Every structure is written in C-alpha cells, then in structure tokens.
Amino acid sequence: QIELKDSDIPIGSVIEGSIVHVDKSSFIIKSVDGQTAYLHRSTWGEYSMEQFNKGQIVKVEKTGFDSEHNKHVWKILSIV
C-alpha cells in the first residue's frame, strides 16, 4: 500500500476517508487506499470544529493550491 499525501493528489480528485487527527485548527483524513488530506480551518466553509470527531467519515474534493499560504485547498462534500 502506497501512502499519498496532499501534494501527490491531483486537483479535482475526490477522496473519502476517516478522520485520524483533530485539533483546534485542522483535521486529517485518511482513505482506505492510503490517501491523506490535511484540512485547515480556513477551508471548512460552513462547518464548525464541533462537527469533526476522530473516526468520522468525510468526503472531500481537492479544489486547488494556495501558494500564498503554501497549503492545499479542499472542499468538504459530506460528513457521516
């Protein structure tokens, strides 16, 4: 199994994974096939910190890269 980080995942990709880490400004999801996405608070849109818990399933789409802040931009599609 190969682990793919944010930088390895092409823009437009949709991944679904389990939240493996949560803190006050971000969370990390990891898919069954080894893809990992880091979602900073600035990309959460309408969602709040209270909606994210370790083990939850989240579906996200990579929408771009913010070169000014050096971070990948993800859009949350659903939370289960």
pLDDT for position 34: 87
| Contact by Cβ (8 Å): 36, 30 | yes
| Contact by Cβ (8 Å): 20, 37 | no
Split at pLDDT 50, 70, 90, the class of 56 is very high
Query: Coil, helix or strand for 8?
Result: helix
Split at pLDDT 50, 70, 90, the class of 40 is confident
pLDDT for position 67: 85
